[in-house]
Amino acid sequence: MTISNNLSINLFSVNKNSDRSALSRSIRRLEQDVLRMGTLVEESFRLACQCLFDRNLDAVKKIAELEARIDEYYRQIESDCVNIIALKTPVARDLRLLSAYMQLIIDLERIGDYAEEISQIAVKLFSYPAHDCLSEIEEMSDRTQLMLATSLLALTDMDVSTASNLKTLDNIIDKAYDRLYQVLAYQKDIKGVVEPILLLGLLICHLEKTASHAANIGERVSFIVTGERN
């Protein structure tokens, strides 16, 4: 083999390794941004529940600010995923990660939307007496917050075992939703307007949907790690 051929092979190897290093750095930055977005979503949802059950009106403005940052992360991460796929020739496992992230940020963005809507529901409920089922809704809310925290822990650690626990938690929240829906939908002898009943019905729906998106995050983690869909 000539010196020229050896040089060409060495240059190709260097370029290939350089490309791989650049791809790895881009993916690490992307992973960090996804986790930052998750932290903002968790904080927004926590404040929404605080607004609802502790009557913290100051949280409403903070949630709106967080929502703007969450949407910004969503757009940036989506754009970064597309650019990496188009320009950096990722291999199979990288493509699996990128496709999962593009789905996962949709789940995070929707949870952020639900947090903002829950805070708006809370403001509307302030003028009404507390409903008898509010303590049960608060318990459902606590379980939903736990589920969201668990999903983000699974994402941070890429832990399939933690992710698998989310299905059980989701089933518990589904049962709570069904029970509360029956209470609200079939309540008799309603005194005054029905708005608080409608708002509470919408609230438990948002909690249930948030839990479903948290379960989705667990499924994305399992897919990233194993390559298999549940």
Range of the domain at 162: 7-226
Angle among Cα 215, 182, 169 to the nearest 5 degrees reads 20
Average pLDDT rounded to a whole number, residues 205-230:
94
3-state class of 133 per DSSP? coil
> Does 1 reside within a domain?
no
pLDDT above 50: residue 14: no
Q: Which residue has the tokens 């079939």?
A: 186
> Does 199 reside within a domain?
yes
- State the chain's mean pLDDT as an integer: 90
51 or 230, which is more confident: 51
Q: CA 214 to CA 220: how far, in whole Å?
A: 10
Confidence of residue 21 (pLDDT cuts 50, 70, 90): confident
> Does 17 reside within a domain?
yes
Return the CATH number at 85: 1.20.58.220
Amino acid identity, position 174: D
> Does 114 reside within a domain?
yes
Q: CA 159 to CA 31: how far, in whole Å?
A: 15
pLDDT above 50: residue 12: no
> Does 116 reside within a domain?
yes
Q: What is the pLDDT of residues 93-148, one digit of tens each?
A: 899 999 999 999 999 999 999 999 999 999 999 999 999 999 999 999 999 999 99
Q: What is the DSSP letter of 189?
A: S
Q: What is the pLDDT of residues 34-53, one digit of tens each?
A: 999 999 999 999 999 999 99
| Contact present, 63 and 48 (Cβ < 8 Å) | yes
Q: CA 152 to CA 145: how far, in whole Å?
A: 11
| Contact present, 95 and 28 (Cβ < 8 Å) | no
Q: Which residues, other chains included, contact 88 with Cβ-Cβ below 8 Å and sequence gap of 6+?
A: 19, 22, 23, 26
> Does 57 reside within a domain?
yes
> Does 170 reside within a domain?
yes
User: How many domains is the chain built from?
Assistant: 1
Give the pLDDT of residue 24: 86
**Window from 12-21, 37-46, 83-92, 216-225 with minimum mean pLDDT:** 12-21
Give the pLDDT of residue 142: 97
> Does 2 reside within a domain?
no
Confidence of residue 9 (pLDDT cuts 50, 70, 90): very low
